Amino acid sequence: MKASLNAVKWKFAINSLLIKCKVKNFMDINRQISAEKYVYVCVESFGLVFWNVHNEALL
């Protein structure tokens, strides 16, 4: 049961992260900001998601 709950959390976290990255990319294009920053923000966000899910799994 707990494993399936974690899988659902991961799926939700990754989907929301992808949406955030797409929105961020769209905003950056409008502001003429480089794609390099967009990738960095996505990677940084994924690290935070992984850390949060990992900590919840330990509880």
Token pair recorded at residue 20: 């955030």
* Burial class of residue 17 in the structure, from the number of CB atoms within 10 Å of its CB (0-12 exposed, 13-18 middle, 19+ buried): middle
| Number of Cβ atoms within 10 Å of the Cβ of 38 | 18
pLDDT for the residue numbered 47: 66
| Number of Cβ atoms within 10 Å of the Cβ of 14 | 14
pLDDT for the residue numbered 57: 57
pTM of the predicted structure, to 2 decimals = 0.33
pLDDT for the residue numbered 39: 58
Domains contained in the chain, number: 1
Give me the tens of pLDDT residue by residue for the chain, a chain 59 residues long.
Answer: 555 667 777 777 777 766 666 666 666 666 665 555 555 665 666 666 666 655 555 55
Amino acid at 23: V
Range of the domain at 42: 2-58
pLDDT for the residue numbered 45: 64
pLDDT for the residue numbered 55: 59
